[in-house]
Amino acid sequence: MITITLQQDEPKVLYLALLYHLARPGSEIDPETGKTHVAALEPVMHFLTSVINKPIIELSCLPKQVERIDTALSGLSNELRQFVLSSSSVVPNFENTLIEFWPDVISDSNRLEEIMMLTMMTRRKLEVFFIQAEQELAHEKLLLEQERLSQRSQWWKIWKKFNRS
């Protein structure tokens, strides 16, 4: 588990990122199994909903969830750029949530650019956790590969069956 600490407006940025991520069709489906992903982000979003207004929040996430949070924050950056250009979003509840978190967005167009900057700063702050998650996932993959290789049948080494010395 990786523990991420969020403060000030960072939980709101992450909530918007998860809102964007979960609006994508199939975002919670594991492509290998076709079932809900083990590292689903919906539970993280539900947790954030209950603690969104606290000054400091600690999230405990699986490495794969942290990796997916990185993707969600990247998607949010793109969605905010698109929102600046068209003043609308195809993500359900995106605009309402944005206005709920930052009501001055309606009257101050520069505020949206500040939120975009806050998104980038949050992503940079969490970059340490993204790297940690990447390393843990690489280590897990290596262990699985080693286990797979050790369990692989060596039928072709027939001489080992006859050589008992």
> What's residue 128's pLDDT?
92
Q: Across residues 113-134, what is the average pLDDT? A: 91
> What's residue 127's pLDDT?
92
Share of the chain above pLDDT 90, in %: 21
What is the tens place of the pLDDT at every residue in 41-96? 888 888 888 888 898 999 888 888 888 889 899 999 988 888 888 888 888 888 89
Contact 118, 9 (CB under 8 A): yes
Q: How far apart are CA 55 and CA 108, in angstroms?
A: 25
The structure tokens 């199994």 sit at 33
Q: Across residues 127-150, what is the average pLDDT? A: 86
> What's residue 109's pLDDT?
76
Please determine, for residue 15, whether its predicted confidence score (pLDDT) is greater than 90.
Answer: yes
- CA angle centred on 14, ends 100 and 30, rounded to 5°: 120
Q: Where are the domains of the chain?
A: 2-153
Please determine, for residue 25, whether its predicted confidence score (pLDDT) is greater than 70.
Answer: yes
> What contacts 13, CB < 8 A, 6 or more positions away?
73, 76, 115, 118, 119, 122
Q: How many CB atoms lie within 10 A of CB 83?
A: 20
What is the tens place of the pLDDT at every residue in 89-122? 888 888 899 989 999 888 887 888 899 999 999 9
Task: Give pTM, 2 decimals.
Answer: 0.79
